[in-house]
Amino acid sequence: MEIPADVPLPKIVVFDLDYTLWPCWCDTHISPPVYKGPDTSTVVDRRGQKMAFYDDVPEIIAELKARGVKIAAASRTSAPDLAKSMLKLIHINGQRAIDYFDVLEIYPGTKITHFTFIKNATGIDYKDMLFFDDESRNKEVEHKLGVKFKYVHEGVTWPLLNEAVYEWHQYAGIEY
């Protein structure tokens, strides 16, 4: 369920990780170390618990990247090394997921700090960013910086992405 090719996209899409791209808090639900799972789309922790992206996430990330959109992570986890390990072990189309990301801002702190670094690293204006997160408090990036925020209820999905792109167009004053 792709976004039509003629629809303009943000220059960068930023994702929170926990309960946005995968169904867990990596700093509390995953027991390190993590290992490659039974297939390249999963990881397994030391207790044998499997974890993978939500169903639509790999295809969404691959599609955005193929369309020239930069991808970033903005996560306030207290286990940044674990999150990065998980991104290295999970594969999308035979490539490590971490390699799809242009910027990784994964550490405790506010999303305002994460986005300041993302803007500095990419040179992309806040108005050209779209952000997905499962915590409504992080909408502060929209109010304070001008980044279009999209609340994620149960993982990023194609319908949610399409809705968010439409809302980003309205927010940025771009004809859809």
Helix (H, G, I), strand (E, B) or coil at 133: strand
Helix (H, G, I), strand (E, B) or coil at 124: coil
18 is catalytic: yes
Give the mean pLDDT of 13-21. 97
Spatial neighbors of 53 by CB under 8 A, at least 6 apart, are: 21, 22, 41, 90, 97
* Mean per-residue pLDDT of the chain: 95
Kindly name the residue from 6, 18, 45, 99 that is annotated as catalytic. Answer: 18
**Structural domains of the chain sorted by starting position, each given as residue range(s) with its CATH number in brackets:** 12-22+54-79+93-170 (3.40.50.1000)
45 is catalytic: no
Structural contact between residues 96 and 130, judged by C-beta atoms closer than 8 angstroms: no
Kindly name the residue from 16, 45, 128, 133 that is annotated as catalytic. Answer: 16
Convert the pLDDT of each residue in 70-114 to its tens digit: 999 999 999 999 999 999 999 999 999 999 999 999 999 999 999
